[in-house]
Chains A and B, each alone.
Chain A
């Protein structure tokens, strides 16, 4: 069994790229299954089911979407296996730039939209810097020079990654991606996250809604960068 974790900023084209990649995987005789994780709502499952593959939706609701993804990774793999799949593709909600929901023994793919400008790779954090493959989308909307500058910035923050220029409309890049997915690592027991999660829990996690500083506990960071622990 192989696991692919696909992350990226909202609207970057994760679903479209994945749809084309799955078509390519099916053509080469693979048995992919998709788990789409979102926060509150999604109808992407309808787009995936048209491909005739097993699809499962997970809504994180009140839980942190990355934690939800990580907590349910084993369950996703079991579900995939019981549906006859040999590859589980997990499309994450792709929201938090602090975390990266990539286990070590998976193929980690980060999808990033070129039209957001060449400073974006510097802002995305571990989602981008710990990915194996970085998929640049919407490159047809900018000049070749701008694509190349964007690419250079991606390599600045993740020098070891493989960059694929993909197009969610035409399917460009899907063939290459499908090949890399096929050659990706097999999952193992005791997988470990590639990047450390944030520090402890905070009072917002436990339901605090009051804004005033005195109500907040946990590992806290002030505007000037000063960090302290407040609590018991």
Chain B
């Protein structure tokens, strides 16, 4: 992994072609940055721009720089050199292959060895309820299983210095664990979210409206305190959910 790593977003235009208010944003190694805004406002479009390292050639006209420079074409397209791993909102696989065949193929496409495959499945099974078996066909996996597998695949195989995560809270998996797994050491993590816990775990958040980056908010001390408190509430909700999933009775208000 690169010693120094910065990701720069140069602003483009909103949905009406008007220049967006935020014209420059630099994110450094180790930072988690949130993207928030109403549905349909253009949050996923922003992470797509980052994923393809846009050079003014996407509908938004944004440009993405790596270490202050325009990335060369090889980095943009070759999975072996890719700097960006993306967990999209896609909840299902369309490939008609078994889990193990798919992971072997993916490891090869990223120039990695087959020894990683077992680790991906093992890790995915820590995030999901019903275990995934190597012989399962991808197309029969549930939404939660697929998302767990995609998450583990990114953590192990697509181990890239920039990680983009789109609405992990909707995946039906353990979101904080998943975020911890994906963020690793010294990565740049960009997370699109409607979830207050995840949004406030970020050090800054980009506010999107009508396709434009409107503002950058730095998470205040007060917000960090709130984040701590709602995390407890969230964990409690998760434990209740697990209790119900196990077919047990909810006995008392903790």
Q: Which residue numbers of A lie inside 8 Å of B, CB to CB?
A: 115, 117-119, 140-146, 148-153, 163, 165, 170-172, 175-176
Shortest distance in angstroms between B92's beta carbon and chain A's nearest beta carbon? 9
A142 close to B58 (CB less than 8 A): no
Partner of B51 from the list A117, A144, A150 (CB cut-off 8 Å) is A144
Distance, CA A118 to CA B106, complexed state (A): 11
Among B109, B153, B158, the one with the most A-chain Cβ atoms within 10 Å of its Cβ is: B109
With A143-B88, A163-B77, A172-B52 as contacts: A118 and B59 at CB distance below 8 Å: no
Given known A117-B94, A119-B96, contact A171–B158 (CB-CB < 8 A): no
Compute how far the CA of A163 lies from the CA of B88 in the bound complex, rounded to whole angstroms.
21
**Complexed CA–CA distance, A176 and B57 (Å):** 9
Number of interface residues of B (CB under 8 A): 29
Q: Are B93 and A146 in contact (CB under 8 A)?
A: yes
Q: Which residues of B lie under 8 Å from residue A165 when comparing CB positions?
A: 52, 77
Report chain A residues within 8 Å CB of B52. 165, 172
Asked if B206 lies at the interface with its beta carbon under 8 angstroms from chain A, I say no
Task: Flag if B95 contacts A146 (CB, 8 Å).
Answer: yes
Q: How far is the CA of A142 from the CA of B86 in the complex (A)?
A: 11
User: How far is it, in angstroms, between the C-alpha of A152 and the C-alpha of B77 when the chains are bound?
Assistant: 12
Instruction: Say yes or no for B108: interface residue by CB 8 A criterion.
Output: yes
- Say whether A145 contacts B59, CB under 8 Å: no
Is A148's CB under 8 angstroms from B59's CB? no
Residue-wise, chain B 69-82 has the 8 Å CB interface mask toward A (1 for contact) of 00000000101000
Residues of the A chain whose Cβ atoms lie less than 8 Å from the Cβ of B59: 170-171
A172 CB contact (under 8 Å) in B58, B150, B158? B58
Q: Provide 6 A-B residue pairs closer than 8 Å at the C-beta atoms, listed in order of the A residue.
A: A117-B97, A142-B90, A145-B154, A148-B158, A165-B77, A170-B58
**B93–A140 touching, CB < 8 Å:** no
Most buried by B among A141, A143, A150: A143
- Contact between A115 and B94 (Cβ–Cβ < 8 Å)? yes
C-alpha spacing A129/B140, complex, angstroms: 31
Cβ proximity bits B190-210 to A, threshold 8 Å, 1 near / 0 not: 000000000000000000000
B48 at the interface (CB under 8 A from A): yes
Residue B233 at the A interface, CB < 8 A?
Answer: no
Q: Are A148 and B106 in contact (CB under 8 A)?
A: yes
Which residues in chain B, 183-230, are within 8 Å of chain A measured between CB atoms? none
Contact at B153–A117, with CB atoms within 8 Å? no
A143 and B108 CA atoms in complex are apart in Å by 17
| Top 3 A-B pairs, shortest CB-CB distance | A152-B109, A175-B57, A148-B109
Q: For A142, list chain B residues within 8 Å (CB).
A: 90, 93-95
**Residue among A115, A146, A163, A170 with most chain B CB within 10 A:** A146
Question: Which of B77, B86, B109 contacts A149 (CB under 8 A)?
Answer: B109
Least distance between B55 CB and chain A CB atoms (Å): 9
B150 touches A145 (CB 8 A): yes
One of B58, B79, B93 near A148 (C-beta < 8 A): B79
B-chain residues with CB within 8 Å of residue A118 when the two chains form the complex: 95, 97, 102, 105
Contacts of A148 in B (CB 8 A): 79, 106, 109-110, 158
A144 touches B109 (CB 8 A): no
CB-CB under 8 A from A176, the residues of chain B are 57
A149 to B85 alpha-carbon distance, docked (Å) = 14
Chain B residues with Cβ below 8 Å from A152 are 79, 105-106, 108-109
> Chain A residues with Cβ under 8 A from B109's Cβ?
148-149, 151-152
- Whether the Cβ atoms of B48 and A140 lie closer than 8 Å is yes
Contacts of A151 in B (CB 8 A): 79, 109
17 more A-B residue pairs beyond the given contacts A149-B95, A172-B57, with a C-beta to C-beta distance below 8 A: A117-B97, A118-B102, A143-B88, A143-B90, A144-B51, A144-B85, A144-B86, A144-B158, A145-B150, A145-B153, A145-B154, A145-B157, A148-B79, A149-B106, A153-B105, A171-B59, A176-B57
Bound state CA distance, A152 and B97, in angstroms? Answer: 14
With a CB–CB cut-off of 8 A, which chain B residues contact A150? Answer: 95
B-chain residues with CB within 8 Å of residue A117 when the two chains form the complex: 94-97
Residues in A neighbouring B96, C-beta threshold 8 A: 117, 119
Once the chains are docked, how many angstroms separate the CA of A149 from the CA of B96?
12
A150 vs B93: C-alpha distance when bound (angstroms): 12
Given A117-B96, A165-B52, CB of A145 within 8 Å of CB of B106:
yes
In whole angstroms, how far apart are the Cα atoms of A118 and B57 in the complex?
27
In the complex, chain A residues whose CB is within 8 Å of the CB of B110: 148
